[in-house]
Amino acid sequence: MKTYKIEVPVQMYDGIDELNSDDRKLLEDAITAMEGSYAPYSKYHVGAAVLLENGEVFPGSNQENVAYPSGLCAERVALFAAGARYPDVAVKAIAVTADAEDFEIEGPVTPCGACRQVMAETETRHSSPVRVIMGNKKGKIYAIEKIGDLLPLMFEAEDLKKSK
């Protein structure tokens, strides 16, 4: 048995002012998108903004439901809305942020596994890397250049072709 390590390059910023103008604008769009959050159960409001190759930005926010699994995360609301409107346009970047009613969020908001999987499909579907900006209203911000950095050893469409 051998062990190999997977290194993930994560860009770390001290705050929103340190971001370049494109990233900052997208994170601000995600902060605005939080206003649409419907989170009466978790009281955890998430906002996302998806930037397409054609320059359009799609907002998303978490939409909860009394039957909990029926709800959807902010990232997938934004990605699916963008895909439904522009199925053939690649996604350049997505920004995510959140605000909790009952506590202060300290670090960057990182997407859940299911959202990472959907981001991975978005990337392979268009053969184009998706930058992910993981923000917060204040505090450190992380960014990665492609989904593989968030989801190493991911299951991809290629893998299906190998099965008999």
Residue numbers at the binding site for ligand THU (CB under 6 A):
39, 42, 44, 46, 62, 64, 71, 73-75, 111-112, 115
Instruction: Tell me whether residue 29 or residue 75 sits nearer to ligand THU (CB atom).
Output: 75
Instruction: Tell me whether residue 30 or residue 52 sits nearer to ligand THU (CB atom).
Output: 30
Number of helices (H) and strands (E), helices first, in the chain?
A: 4, 6
Spell out where 11-140 has E strands: 11-13, 44-52, 57-61, 91-100, 131-134
Annotated catalytic residue 53: no
Instruction: Tell me whether residue 17 or residue 96 sits nearer to ligand THU (CB atom).
Output: 96
Query: Coil, strand, or helix at residue 110?
Result: coil
> Among candidates 13, 46, 9, which has minimal Cα distance to 150?
9
- Other beta carbons within 10 Å of 52: 18
CA distance 61 to 131: 19
Which among 75, 106, 121, 145 is annotated as catalytic? 75
At closest approach, how far in Å is the CB of 116 from ligand THU?
8
CA distance 154 to 149: 10
Give the containing element (helix H, strand E) for 144: strand 141-144
At closest approach, how far in Å is the CB of 39 from ligand THU?
5
Amino acid (1-letter code) at residue 23: D
At closest approach, how far in Å is the CB of 19 from ligand THU?
20
At closest approach, how far in Å is the CB of 101 from ligand THU?
11
Instruction: Tell me whether residue 115 or residue 141 sits nearer to ligand THU (CB atom).
Output: 115
> What residues are annotated to the active site?
75
